[in-house]
Amino acid sequence: MKDKVLLYEELSLNAHPALQTQLYDGWLLRFANGYTNRANSISPLYPSSLDLHEKITECESRYFSLKLPAVYKLTDHSDLGLDKVLDDLGYAIVTPTYVMDMDLNSLEFPTGDCVITSRADDNWLNAYFRFSNYTDNVKIETAKQILNNVRSTMICGRILKQGVSVACGSAVIERGYMALLNIVVDEPQRGKGYGREICESLLAASKNLGAHTAYLQVVQDNQKAINLYTKLGYKTLYSYWYRVKRG
């Protein structure tokens, strides 16, 4: 199981890349102007040898100097000793999240009223930022750079109803594993099944591109999304959470 968790952690880092990544004694330090914890956190994925408190102090220095909080991403298969130390140092737990996956080999999904592109074009970006209520220019430009930094196969989809975008999402496929990302429905259009339609359309398109397994990350208190993903066939594999300390 630990090897599978490491696989998904590596895949998910590539599916949502940071603007800068530093390797520090087995820990991956990611920076992206504070846009999302995923792209601005420390992932202690690999064995390390330095003193733990020395490393934590150094990481704090690197993030605080950029006016960013120090954030650690920990899984329920991480070293729980590190989690305890961070707790003792005043790092708060935020955003507990499930990682869910499913085998695609025996499944078929309908393709809805979906426009699929191989990149995040202007139409997709405009829909995504509008549905997500993004107005901050730094956040918008950082999101664009992160999408442009994806080096694996990426597809972006928009559900159109009477020529108008009502939902969007994206997928990144690496080594046959498909990450479902950026699912958002226009607020006035929610509750009409468009969330399921965009997910199924992206799953169908990804399977056509050779994906054999799908995975996603969903915040544990987002019960509506969890219900949708469970109906699609996803099952919870493991959990992760962030430990955060502000400078």
Residue 225 lies in a domain: no
Q: Are strands 42-43 and 27-31 parallel, antiparallel or unpaired?
A: antiparallel
Residue 161 has pLDDT above 90, yes or no: yes
Domain membership of residue 126 as a residue range: 106-211
182 and 88 fall within a common domain:
no
Provide the CATH number for the domain around residue 194.
3.40.630.30
93 and 145 fall within a common domain:
no
How many residues would you count in the chain? Answer: 247
Kindly report, residue by residue over 12-37, the tens digit of the pLDDT. 999 999 999 999 999 999 999 999 99
Token pair in block for residue 87: 């707790």
203 and 114 fall within a common domain:
yes
What distance in Å separates the CA atoms of residue 84 and residue 97, rounded to the nearest whole number?
19
167 and 199 fall within a common domain:
yes
Residue 64 lies in a domain: yes
Residue 203 has pLDDT above 90, yes or no: yes
What distance in Å separates the CA atoms of residue 229 and residue 231, rounded to the nearest whole number?
5
Distance of CA 213 to the CA centre of its chain: 16
User: What is the residue-averaged pLDDT of the chain?
Assistant: 97
92 and 136 fall within a common domain:
no
Number of domains in the chain: 2
Q: How confident is the model at residue 188 (pLDDT cuts 50, 70, 90)?
A: very high
131 and 187 fall within a common domain:
yes
What distance in Å separates the CA atoms of residue 47 and residue 109, rounded to the nearest whole number?
40
123 and 183 fall within a common domain:
yes
Which pTM does this prediction carry?
0.96
92 and 187 fall within a common domain:
no
